[in-house]
């Protein structure tokens, strides 16, 4: 898996999963993103790093936030960017995933940014696409969402300077979350002191502790002494598939309230990859409150995606 993502020289070729990437590579992404932060604040929000490059966003699953930040990231690097919502185009006409990819690669694309509802789709495309094309995974099934994880880590680093002493708690639907899997891998690679997952058993995958986390089924115990609280979105369909009785009961037991927030450290930050279900997993007053860094996550998303795109294409230039 790691080999697929790296060139022979060990540089980033694809960005599909955090697994198998070294601390150095992750740190390099964070540092590069740091240098891009200023660009979004300039009058002219563009640098010519990727002029003449073509980036295609292939979204087999709908998304607003991720897609928009990828589009903005690409255009701020002066790349040509096209977004295709595949749900409503080719594959619904019966064209296979591979045929769609083959057609697009014939148009001399440099990067595919792919989101797909099936785990392993990004990996499959990276294995089967032309060798000059790089693939960035924008979320595949329940497997990975590595750019989201990196922007979360980036946000944590802005607030907490030392990873090794941090206690990070991830709360909510761990079972179905691709973001959480990537977050855990990244936090572990960067040497975070303690990672916790907090959820009822129906929302925890089997053997989750083997990912390198402490498991809590009790919100109060799980929150105790945290430096970073990451809330995970709860999908409505979890109620109809007998995983939870009701939103109300979930909020009663696992919702982040003002009262509960006090259990964490006084300077704890509250994160959420969005979109937020106010009053289901998090109280509105916290989402909009002083400890929340939720909107900062969104703007950091652009810098992180700029960093990953530029590192991948820069490595390619080096290789030539």
Partner 1 sequence: MKKIHIANGRIIDPANHIDQTGSLYIADGKILSVLNPIADFSADISIDATNNIICPGFIDLSVRLRDPGQTHKGTLQSETIAAASAGVTGLCLPPDTQPVIDTQAVTELINDKAKKANYSQVYLIAALTHQLAGKELSSMAALKQAGCVAVSNANAPFANLLVLRRAMEYASSYNLLVILHPEEPSLSNNGCTHEGFFSTRYGLPGIPEASESIAVAQYLELARLTGCRLHFSQISCKAAVIKIQQAKKYGLNITADVAIHQLHLTENDIEPFNSSYHVIPPFRTTKDLQRLREGLANGTINAICSAHQPHDLDAKLGAFPETEPGIASLETLLPLMLCLVEDNAITLSQGIACLSQNPASILGINSGTLTPGFNADVCIFNATLNWEVNQQNWKSAGLNTPYWGEVFKGRVTHTLQSGKIIYTLK
Q: Contact positions toward partner 1, by CB under 8 A? A: 1, 19, 96-98, 116, 118-121, 123-124, 128, 140-144, 178, 181, 205-208, 210-211
Whether 13 is catalytic: no
| Catalytic residue chosen out of the listed positions 93, 161, 207, 236 | 93
Closer CB to partner 1, residue 140 or residue 152? 140
CA angle 162, 168, 170 (to 5 degrees): 150
Measured distance CA(263)–CA(148) in Å, rounded: 27
- Of 211 and 276, nearer to partner 1 (C-beta) is 211
Candidates 66, 69, 100, 129; catalytic one:
66
Q: Is 41 or 210 the residue whose CB approaches partner 1 more closely?
A: 210
Examine the residue annotation and report whether 233 is marked as an active-site residue of this protein: no
Side-chain-side CA neighbours of residue 32 (13 Å): 20
Assigned token pair, 173: 């639907």
CB 74 within 8 A of CB 56: no
CB of 205 or CB of 289, closer to partner 1:
205
Please identify which of the residues 7, 54, 65, 68 carries the catalytic annotation.
Answer: 65
What's the closest the beta carbon of residue 216 comes to partner 1, in angstroms? 17
Q: How far is the CB of 81 from partner 1 (least distance, A)?
A: 24
> What is the SS3 assignment for 272-285?
CCCCCCECCCECHH
Of 115, 116, 176, 272, the catalytic one is 115
| 3-state percent helix, strand, coil for the chain, nearest multiple of 5 | 45, 15, 40
Query: What DSSP string describes 230-257?
Result: EE----THHHHTTS-S-HHHHHHHH-B-
Which residues contact residue 194 at a Cβ distance below 8 angstroms, ignoring those fewer than 6 apart?
166, 167, 168, 214
Catalytic residue among 13, 116, 145, 167: 145
CA angle 184, 276, 182 (to 5 degrees): 15
Closest CA to 306 of 50, 122, 115, 62: 50
Q: From the CB of 125, what's the least distance to partner 1, in Å?
A: 9
Per the annotation, the verdict on 66 as an active-site residue is yes
In terms of CB distance, is 141 or 289 closer to partner 1? 141
Shortest gap between Cβ of 34 and partner 1 (angstroms)?
29
Quote the least distance from Cβ 23 to partner 1, whole Å.
Answer: 19
- Token pair listed for 295: 């909107």
Q: Report, in Å, the least distance between residue 148 CB and partner 1.
A: 14
d(CA 10, CA 26): 13
Pick 116 or 157: Cβ nearer partner 1: 116
Residues annotated as part of the active site: 65-66, 93, 115, 145
């Amino acid at each position: 898996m790691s080999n697929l993502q790296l060139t022979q020289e060990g540089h980033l070729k694809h960005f599909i999963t955090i697994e198998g990437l070294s601390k150095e590579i992750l740190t390099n992404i964070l540092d590069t993103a740091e240098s891009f932060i200023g660009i979004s604040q300039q009058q002219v929000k563009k640098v010519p790093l990727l002029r003449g490059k073509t980036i295609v966003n292939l979204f087999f699953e709908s998304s607003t936030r991720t897609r928009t930040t990828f589009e903005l990231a690409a255009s701020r690097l002066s790349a040509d960017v096209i977004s295709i919502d595949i749900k409503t185009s080719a594959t619904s006409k019966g064209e296979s995933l591979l045929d769609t990819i083959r057609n697009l690669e014939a148009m001399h694309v440099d990067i595919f940014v792919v989101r797909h509802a099936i785990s392993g789709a990004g990996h499959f495309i990276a294995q089967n696409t032309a060798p000059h094309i790089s693939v960035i995974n924008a979320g595949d099934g329940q497997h990975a969402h590595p750019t989201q994880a990196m922007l979360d880590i980036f946000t944590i680093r802005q607030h907490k300077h030392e990873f090794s002493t941090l206690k990070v708690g991830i709360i909510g639907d761990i079972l179905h979350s691709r973001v959480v899997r990537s977050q855990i891998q990244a936090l572990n690679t960067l040497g975070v002191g303690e990672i916790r997952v907090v959820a009822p058993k129906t929302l925890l995958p089997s053997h989750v502790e083997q990912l390198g986390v402490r498991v809590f089924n009790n919100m109060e115990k799980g929150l105790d002494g945290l430096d970073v609280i990451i809330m995970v979105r709860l999908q409505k369909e979890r109620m109809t598939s007998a995983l939870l009785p009701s939103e109300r009961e979930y909020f009663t037991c696992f919702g982040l309230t003002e009262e509960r927030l006090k259990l964490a450290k006084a300077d704890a930050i509250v994160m959420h990859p969005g979109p937020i279900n106010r009053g289901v997993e998090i109280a509105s007053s916290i989402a909009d409150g002083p400890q929340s860094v939720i909107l900062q996550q969104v703007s950091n998303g652009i810098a992180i995606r700029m960093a990953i795109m530029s590192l991948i294409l820069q490595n390619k230039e080096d290789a030539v």
